[in-house]
Chains A and B, each alone.
Chain A
Amino acid sequence: MALTGLEIYKQLPKKNCGECGPPTCLAFAMSLASGKATLDSCPYVSAAARETLDSASAPPIRLIKIGTGDQEVELGDEHVMFRHDKTFYHPTAFAFLVDDNATDLPEQIRAINGLEFNRVGLNYTVEAIAVNCVSGDAAVFKTAVETVAANSPLALVLISEDPAVIAEALPVVKDRKPLINAATTGNYEQMVALAKANEAALVVKAEGLNALAELVEKVVGLGFKEILLDPGYRNTSQVLAGLTEIRRLAIKKKFRPFGYPVITFTTETGALDEVVQAGVYLSKYASMVVIQTHQKEHILPLLSWRQNLYTDPQKPITVEAKIHAVGEVNDQTPVYITTNFSLSYYSVEGEVEASKIPGYIIPVDTEGTSVLTAWAAGKFEPEKIAAVLETSGIKDLVGHREVIIPGYVAVISGKLEDKSGWKVIVGPREASGIPAFAKSRFA
């Protein structure tokens, strides 16, 4: 929670010197509270007051960046518990686990690099590869890290609790801004020194919330804040509770030791069960999920849920309201009308494609609402659709004058015919009916 003007005022020197601009400290405090001024304008503020005020104005969950360039991943900096309160900002990153002694490491890297998907006009990608030191051998680990770095642009997570192992591999990937996993009560001084020297981020891991808060304070005491949290829980239910409580204390209480992104690890060994477990952590507040399966069919559902969950609830996703051609179109191609709500449009596009009969699709600008909602709100009126048929340029593309409208708005067909002069064909209600409809009519 941001501080109020009065709370800020208490921290100011109360000299009323006016050197900051506003005539009094109270006025300056009000400007600070509303974000119109910065503390730098005050020449007399004490160091202690500055620290208090700086930390109060910092986001409740720190933004941590790993990776570089196009593969930079931003974690944390979340502000709400529920997406309907505002929105979620930084999507959960997926890190794919590989063993340092795996004999098929290059094939695994290739498969992980290939986890890129196109659906509904969006491109989904993954973020990181986590190299796990199962060999216990610093040289083996270093070679594996080098292999991964050389063959993948993705961000790197180095997994070992042995500082000697990390010390060997970390310098060779220093310029990739990796994440080290993990600092523990036993090794944190060495791990923090390594992370500092190599500008890496660091997972701080302890058993349970109390021990975690304590260890984070120690790490921060060493002047290091590029932190991810791991409360050590591994059973699904306790992980969910830990994620919820850490997020809650950070956001609602501004509890500083928990003001960092949280990393989670799947434990299920069957791929289906593992994806389901990852789905829980993705739904409820994990900033990073380390996962084993890297089969496309397992990852697409997770990335789709992530994309859905992190959309801004206040902004409907739309497509451009212009003529879209699907397949080998000509002057006899059927013309479909839908709305510019992306889900409506892409459902229709997918089904027209599946019908294997080319089509023109014109999404009418309904401000991103679906067919029924738009119609109920007066945004999918015959006049509007007639205007689109007149001005979009479709008249020059096709020789016929037949237009297909969604079955849900069959009621407008008469009026639309009057207004546009086009023959109106009532299509199926759901996009899924289009292939059968198109085949029976146009094949």
Chain B
Amino acid sequence: MAVTILKERYTNSVAEVVLGATPEQGGTRGFTLTVGGEKALPFLHFEGKIPFPPVIAAEVADVRPEWNQALLDTIGPDVAGNPALWAKKAVTEWQADLIYLNLTGAHPDTGDKSPAECVQVVKDVLAAVSCPLIVVGCEVAEKDELIMPAIAEATAGENLLLGVAEQENYKTLTSACMAHHHTIIARSPLDINICKQLNILIREMNQNLPIVIDPTVSGLGYGIEYTYSIMERARFGALQGDKMLAMPIIATVGYEAWRAKEANASEVDFPGWGLQEERAILWEATTAVAYLQAGADILVLRHPQAISSVRKNITQLMADNSF
């Protein structure tokens, strides 16, 4: 009995966004990465082209972060606090595709680094690795307004992915990305309409600035189903023709997963939950797996083993599955 395969027809595809720039393109990266370009829902190769695999960015902090101690021990006491070494290890040993550098040290409470110091950190990391780089500020808007333009200028032409622009606060970062050839992260708070609105605002300033959207994700067990459904709807809307949703998606999985009690509680305190280490790795990996199925293009992860399991999953899912 011949089954007639039912294929969805979409009118639109997700925009392709290039990260990084080689010397010929005005940067210093050894290679670039392209994300997006999907013409079907995640990994449904049988009905539309999925031209690029989702990529994994290892999260690196500029200062020794206040993360779970077991996680820091795994990352390595020698590298936590040394972003250049940490980034190098993430790329060479954990096979991360790129680096997500988090400038926590610029926060007034955790170092209050000056713009010049932040620029130096970014330059050190750029020198240590040849992959493209994502750089985000310290979540204090006034401070980020100072450091991000300085970083954008000092690394002009590198095509960094810089974040984050928000609805109330997008002009400075947009201008910096426009002036110095970088790509921007547009973050919206769990709301598909604000997500579109922010993209429209950024595009009003520049028709061509490449955008990666951060719809704000939640961690497993703590509202993941909301953000999963928002992401599914956004991607479905993109394929159906909504150009203001048709951008690649970044998901800060590690940050969210490691906030959960289930990732941190020891087996002594919660014997019913099993051993902390693999529970935590899977808390992070399962969060990533869910968002991969909803449409995430860039996953930001922390634990080396979460990176390797999710990497294997992506490789498997990129295999052709036509019937």
Residue B289 is within 8 A (CB to CB) of chain A in the complex: yes
Residue A347 is within 8 A (CB to CB) of chain B in the complex: yes
A312 nearest in chain B by CB position? B225
Residue B46 is within 8 A (CB to CB) of chain A in the complex: yes
CB pair A241–B44 under 8 Å, yes or no, is yes
B317 nearest in chain A by CB position? A237
| Cβ–Cβ < 8 Å partners of B274 in chain A | 295-300
Residue B286 is within 8 A (CB to CB) of chain A in the complex: yes
Q: How far is the CA of A304 from the CA of B2 in the complex (A)?
A: 39
Q: How far is the CA of A208 from the CA of B5 in the complex (A)?
A: 12
Residue A412 is within 8 A (CB to CB) of chain B in the complex: no
A215 nearest in chain B by CB position? B1
- The smallest beta-carbon distance between A312 and chain B, in angstroms, is 10
Residue B82 is within 8 A (CB to CB) of chain A in the complex: no
- The smallest beta-carbon distance between A423 and chain B, in angstroms, is 26
Q: How far is the CA of A275 from the CA of B287 in the complex (A)?
A: 12
Binds B, one of A242-250, A319-327, A392-400: A242-250
A301 with B283, Cβ < 8 A, contacts A237-B319, A241-B323 known: yes
| Cβ–Cβ < 8 Å partners of A245 in chain B | 5-6, 46, 323
Q: Scoring B residues 282 to 323 as 1 if CB is less than 8 Å from chain A, else 0, what string do you get?
A: 110110011011000000000001000110110011111111
Q: How far is the CA of A322 from the CA of B304 in the complex (A)?
A: 43
Residue A174 is within 8 A (CB to CB) of chain B in the complex: no
Q: How far is the CA of A118 from the CA of B233 in the complex (A)?
A: 31
| Cβ–Cβ < 8 Å partners of B316 in chain A | 235-237, 277
Residue B170 is within 8 A (CB to CB) of chain A in the complex: no
Residue A117 is within 8 A (CB to CB) of chain B in the complex: yes
CB pair B223–A343 under 8 Å, yes or no, is yes
Q: How far is the CA of A47 from the CA of B290 in the complex (A)?
A: 47
- The smallest beta-carbon distance between B225 and chain A, in angstroms, is 4
CB pair A300–B309 under 8 Å, yes or no, is no
Partner of A279, one of B275, B289, B305: B289
- The smallest beta-carbon distance between A371 and chain B, in angstroms, is 13
A297 with B276, Cβ < 8 A, contacts A276-B313, A343-B223, A432-B259 known: yes
- The smallest beta-carbon distance between B39 and chain A, in angstroms, is 15
CB pair B290–A283 under 8 Å, yes or no, is yes
Residue A354 is within 8 A (CB to CB) of chain B in the complex: yes
Residue A105 is within 8 A (CB to CB) of chain B in the complex: no
- The smallest beta-carbon distance between A111 and chain B, in angstroms, is 11
A311 nearest in chain B by CB position? B225
CB pair A276–B262 under 8 Å, yes or no, is no
CB pair A302–B286 under 8 Å, yes or no, is yes
Residue A209 is within 8 A (CB to CB) of chain B in the complex: yes
CB pair A237–B320 under 8 Å, yes or no, is yes
A305 with B220, Cβ < 8 A, contacts A297-B273, A298-B274 known: yes
Report the 10 A-B pairs with minimum CB-CB distance, sorted nearest first: A297-B274, A296-B274, A241-B321, A297-B279, A279-B289, A236-B316, A301-B282, A237-B319, A214-B1, A301-B286
**18 further interface pairs, Cβ-Cβ under 8 Å (given A119-B273, A308-B221):** A82-B232, A117-B273, A118-B272, A214-B1, A241-B46, A241-B323, A245-B5, A245-B6, A272-B281, A276-B282, A276-B289, A280-B293, A284-B293, A297-B274, A297-B275, A300-B274, A350-B261, A430-B259
20 A-B pairs with CB atoms under 8 Å apart are: A82-B232, A117-B273, A210-B2, A213-B3, A235-B319, A236-B316, A237-B43, A255-B3, A258-B3, A268-B312, A272-B282, A276-B310, A279-B285, A280-B293, A296-B279, A297-B275, A299-B274, A301-B220, A302-B282, A304-B286
Binding site for B on A (CB under 8 A): 82-84, 116-120, 208-210, 213-214, 217, 235-238, 240-241, 244-245, 248-249, 252-253, 255, 257-258, 268, 271-273, 275-277, 279-280, 283-284, 295-302, 304-305, 308-309, 311, 313, 343, 347, 350-351, 354, 430, 432
